[in-house]
Amino acid sequence: MKNIQAEIISVGTELLLGQITDTNSQWLSQKLNDLGVNVYYHQTVGDNADRVTSVLQMAQQRSQLVIVTGGLGPTEDDLTRESAINVLNRSLVIDQTSLKRVEAHFEKNGIPMTENNRKQAVVFENATVFQNDEGMAPGMFVEHEGTGWIFLPGVPREMKAIMNEKVIPFLKQKYELTGQLVSRELKFIGIGESTLEDKISHIIQSQSNPTIAPLAGDDGVLLRLSAKATTKEKGYALIDELQQRIFQVVGEYCYGIDHDTIESTVLNIMEEKHMTLSSAESLTGGRFIEKLVSVPGASKVVRGSIVSYQREVKEKLLLVSSGTIDQYGTISEQCAFEMVENVQNMMHTDISMSFTGNAGPDPIEGKPVGTVYIGIKQGSNPPQIYAYTFHGSRDNIRNRAVKKGYELLYKLLKS
């Protein structure tokens, strides 16, 4: 299995202006990774001949395989071929097969073909041409001083069809790509990215194959383990061994793998234990329970939730005492205590959660923005109340409170 260093170049001023999102580079990276090809660089360049030439020259110097998308159309600002001449030292010729396909397209649609459309049939001399079954401009492969160059149209539908049907089989044969790249994501909660990385630093420092990539996620920290092998089975065997080493150090924080979410993990544990859940939410406005009920099968666990945003709702519906609120306020440990206890009693659940706090924009009841209280109660045990100070936007504070709630619930269930 060869170790190939690849680069992807996207051509088009519309990409730089943000008028179009460059999904081609992401998709191509995934495809190349599946083939075991390492993508080291992404470049995006506008429709300017000098700048296109410059990025192509840079790619020639540092990469063994370069895929260029865009700039193969019929208009004057489609400059990819003309710019590449300066780098590849090849002349341009008309590919007769491609020209016939272009002419047939216009004839079929009853549209006169303008002369500039002949440009879409122009290829590099002695190139391997990949016909475009979804459009007109073909793809092509040329080799120059040890670097393989693949040129593809920028229209995603056309690019993907040529890549899937023609380029990938060509690359497998050309570069003897018999290997497989497999990966697995380990998901952690209750530990920060820097702390996690520090605890397994000795494993990261000794990595080669498989590799470890720490990533920040919406619901915790991720470790992406990737391995190359001749078969997927051998690749996953390598990952299994690495995962075991990681779990010996930080396994207690791992809540899921790949497509698991913290809410699906919590739901599965509670269902296995035949436990029920309720919540009383002020600050979070129902976000905590909404995440859980979005998981299929939530009705087996979730009894309900009371969103008690205003004081009178806390008093009349949740039966939080007016004396508690008068003395301590709605944003307080005492209020969270009564909320979590009362909602459990009302809904007769095994576990209950409560959320109250101030997400901003201004201080409330003398409590600064970011003040959060989360209550959790299991069975006949007394409620446990946790106080936090979160920073960020209003939405960020609310989301962090929800995330922390799931962390507390997960720890309780695991204990």
Final residue of a structural domain among 230, 257, 284: 257
Question: Residue 230: pLDDT band by 50, 70, 90 thresholds?
Answer: confident
One domain for residues 283 and 328: yes
Ranges of beta strands (E only) in 116-262 are: 122-124, 128-130, 139-144, 147-152, 180-188, 211-217, 220-229, 254-257
Where is 342: in which H helix or E strand? helix 333-347
Final residue of a structural domain among 257, 285, 318: 257
Selection from 323, 411, 337 nearest residue 374 by Cα: 337
Say what the pLDDT of residue 178 is. Answer: 79
One domain for residues 200 and 153: no
Average pLDDT over residues 325-339: 98
- Residue 137 φ/ψ, nearest 5 degrees: -70, 125
Domain of residue 40: give its range: 5-174
Residue 1 has pLDDT above 70, yes or no: no
Question: Residue 278: pLDDT band by 50, 70, 90 thresholds?
Answer: very high
One domain for residues 189 and 240: yes
Instruction: With beta carbons less than 8 A apart as the criterion, state whether 284 and 402 touch.
Output: yes
Residue 18 has pLDDT above 80, yes or no: yes
Selection from 86, 72, 54 nearest residue 150 by Cα: 72
- Residue 357 φ/ψ, nearest 5 degrees: 165, -170
Longest dimension (CA), the chain: 88
Type of residue at 28: L
Model-level pTM?
A: 0.75
DSSP 368: P
- pLDDT tens digits, residue range 106-140? 888 888 888 888 888 999 999 999 999 998 999 99
One domain for residues 362 and 282: yes
- pLDDT tens digits, residue range 366-378? 999 999 999 999 9
Where is 356: in which H helix or E strand? strand 351-357
Say what the pLDDT of residue 2 is. Answer: 63
CATH number at residue 57: 3.40.980.10
One domain for residues 268 and 160: no
- Residue 29 φ/ψ, nearest 5 degrees: -60, -45
CATH number at residue 193: 3.30.70.2860
- Token pair 């905590």 is found at 288
| Number of domains composing the chain | 3
Q: Which of 96-105, 250-259, 261-270, 406-415 has the lowest mean pLDDT?
A: 96-105
One domain for residues 20 and 168: yes
Mean pLDDT of the chain: 94
